């Protein structure tokens, strides 16, 4: 498209249209053609042939008389800032480590409970309705004001519950684990680990795993 050689109203209107067009396309690195009228047109590059300026834009080529271009300005391109990536969600093991530290529990102990309860499966649901990593019953989760389907809240609530049970039983690990599995009522009724095969096996598995992990941790720290 060509302008008339002389600057007139038609040229001014057309230049305004070109300016509007330039403002609606993505701004890439390149240069600006500063027109005699004061308007600026963005282009990737330009060339001058026989008194005609050709502006190469992202949408094609614009031709206009060289006399209508006052100068060219190199664009100082600044790449747009990339939004910061959201922090990565913690892994299951990181969630357990942080919850253990938060509530003053040995991490090996909380890991042992999670491993025996759900094998670290965030979506685990037992036949009794226990949910998630720490296998919280809906009623227990409600008392702790936690969403048992949210892994972070599940681990946090499970750790809090274990901490409270350990305080209740003066640090008695066996009693606390039995109450976690069978409920405090059963522990009170039998004044200790209730005679339920499931609960007895549960306590034995957690304690054995805890002892194994603790020994590995001590050995690693001594190396």
As annotated, the active-site residues are 117
Q: Please give the Cα distance from 113 to 109 (Å, whole number).
A: 6
Residue given tokens 């590059």 in the structure block:
45
Q: Residue 115 — left, alpha, or beta (φ > 0 → left; ψ -120 to 50 → alpha)?
A: alpha
∠ Cα 172 135 189 (to 5°):
45
Counting beta carbons within 10 angstroms of the beta carbon of residue 54, is it exposed (0 to 12), middle (13 to 18) or buried (19 or more)? middle
């Amino acid at each position: 498209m060509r302008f008339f050689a002389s600057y007139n109203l038609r040229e001014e209107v057309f230049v305004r249209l070109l300016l509007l067009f330039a403002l609606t396309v993505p701004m890439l690195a390149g240069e600006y053609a500063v027109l005699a009228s004061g308007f600026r047109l963005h282009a990737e590059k330009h060339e001058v042939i026989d008194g005609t300026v050709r502006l190469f834009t992202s949408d094609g080529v614009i031709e206009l008389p060289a006399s209508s271009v006052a100068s060219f300005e190199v664009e100082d391109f600044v790449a747009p800032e990339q939004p910061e990536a959201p922090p990565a969600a913690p892994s299951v093991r990181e969630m357990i480590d942080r919850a253990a530290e938060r509530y003053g529990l040995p991490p090996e102990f909380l890991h042992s409970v999670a491993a025996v309860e759900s094998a670290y499966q965030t979506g685990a649901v037992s036949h009794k309705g226990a949910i998630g990593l720490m296998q919280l019953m809906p009623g227990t989760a409600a008392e702790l004001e936690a969403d048992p389907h949210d892994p972070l809240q599940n681990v946090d609530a499970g750790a809090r519950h274990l901490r409270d049970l350990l305080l209740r039983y003066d640090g008695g690990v066996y009693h606390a684990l039995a109450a976690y599995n069978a409920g405090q009522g059963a522990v009170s009724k039998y004044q200790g680990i209730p005679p339920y095969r499931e609960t007895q096996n549960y306590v034995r598995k957690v304690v054995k795993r805890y002892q194994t992990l603790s020994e590995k941790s001590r050995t690693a720290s001594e190396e």
